[in-house]
Structure 1
């Protein structure tokens, strides 16, 4: 029996980049999974949690747990959202044993998309093509909380025609940080400009990453600066669904 996977459809994916969801479903089905997208799912609660509104976060967490606990796995195309479910949910219910047990059970079967493909399903290669030079962004949540770094590079290395060019300081924050970029715009902008400089040094025509918040942040900065780089979620490239405009709408041609 194929595993029954509930796709956690993130807020940013729904609002700004539904193509990431289509790519996620394609990759999961190619990996032998039966995918469902629950219609009554909500935000994971990360914005409320980061703002200190733990009551609101607990209400959202209960909804997510109830919706997804019947699946074999919960998979989402976002390191930050899945880190919230995996790491923060059990802490939220530290003083509520019944809900903590449910949160821990959900956390144990919840994964970021690319790490699920490689680490759980054993996927080593994908059937996709993307002619061009690509550099990979490591988001803070995915890297530091979930240990996601080698997994996307493994699968990107199997994409026909794709050349991977590593940027310097890839582990340094891009400046998004959720509400951080709103509270501290000057610092956020400086970090974004530093990251764009590292991207430019690679000569890559495309930037990919696993968190839409970071990608939207950098794509917006690139658009304002006129940088000729396309931005895609890693899943879009791996699924062969990166033929249209990049994130932010910039339709610049790929560079060799």
Structure 2
């Protein structure tokens, strides 16, 4: 199923709450705005937030002869999505599974989804270096994976946890496309001034220390958080977030 996918990108972080899913959705939407056909695979089985972020909650996954048909965001079918959130009864349902069942579900997501001919598949992963990560790595050995985009926040605690994710990538042979520092400052929705409510520069320092590319920084912007299913590069083209996502996607395309 993945042989028809031209580029596969993992979005990783060693820590929860750094905004991986938001980064994944906006990267995908930005790629669509640039004319590419894109898929998002939500491997975060215990916290599937991609359906909510793309305003797709309530959609059902259909079974075809070839396998599962992903959910599309609109009739153009330029953005395909697969998440366990589509298989649950409602958003309050909890996935209480042991490792083997999680592993089986991830394998099924990677082998049974009919993505078709798409340019980019973005895989949004859970935090840490757990069963889901290892399963993804093992199943991607037979196909070309461009590498990982690693997300951190500026604080020292986050940087220390994300450092472990970089070590995991190097040990498992995953190429690292680069690192993004998310929540780098707060953009006031009224005056658009950016204030560093957290520390700043932790992501850049980690990238330099680990010898990986630094893709850029993304501020906290409440306006971006309200753009459910919409690309900030289109809706807020002059915002710092839109400019940052545009630059980050250009770097990923050139990778």
Larger proportion of helix? 1
Normalising by structure 1, we get a TM-score of: 0.33
Normalising by structure 2, we get a TM-score of: 0.33
